Each structure stands twice: as C-alpha cells, then as structure tokens.
C-alpha cells in the first residue's frame, strides 16, 4: 500500500519465498518487463539472488534482502495500524 515497487517485491519474496518473475509481477501488479528490470536493480544492490533453471528464473532474498524486507513489512504494518487508529479516532466523529 505504501511501498515502492522495489520494496513491494522484497516483501513479496519475504512472504512467499522464491518465485519466478511472472509470479512476482502478478503479485506486485506490474508488467513482467518492469519486474525484470526491478529485480536486476535489486540484484545489483545485493538484495536478491536469481537462479536460472531453464527456462525459468527463480528469485530469492539474500540475507541482506531478508533483513531489509522484514523491516519494510514492519514499517508498513505500523503505518496501517496508525492510520486505522486515526480514522477511528474521535477527531473524525462529529
């Protein structure tokens, strides 16, 4: 909800484990081309590892990527909780 595409991909891999580009793209709501470009960028940052098992590319988090993804998920959950509390607070009740 509040995450960038890069961040969303990291959290998807955290929650679902190793996935193909097509599976990641579907869950992230992006094209496979955009997904592939983003995964390449995440690989360059050392956050994702890819294995080519012909004809598939399987992607998984590195140890560094796992740490980042866990923190991102925690931040997103906290934001959702805080926004829900604000929405349900008395300041919006007239």
For the chain, the domains span 5-89
Nearest to 3 by CA among 72, 92, 93, 50: 72
CATH architecture assigned to 5-89: Orthogonal Bundle (1.10)
Rounded average pLDDT over 40-65: 95
DSSP for residue 49: E
Better-predicted residue by pLDDT, 9 or 81: 9
Rounded average pLDDT over 69-77: 95
**pLDDT tier at 62 (50, 70, 90 boundaries)?**
very high
């Amino acid at each position: 909800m509040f995450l960038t595409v890069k961040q969303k991909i990291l959290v998807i891999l955290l929650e679902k484990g190793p996935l193909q580009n097509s599976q990641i793209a579907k869950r992230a709501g992006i094209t496979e081309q955009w997904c592939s470009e983003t995964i390449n960028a995440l690989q360059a940052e050392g956050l994702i590892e890819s294995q080519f098992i012909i004809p598939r590319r399987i992607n998984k988090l590195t140890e560094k990527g796992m740490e980042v993804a866990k923190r991102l998920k925690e931040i997103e959950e906290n934001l959702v909780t805080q926004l829900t509390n604000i929405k349900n607070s008395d300041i919006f009740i007239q």
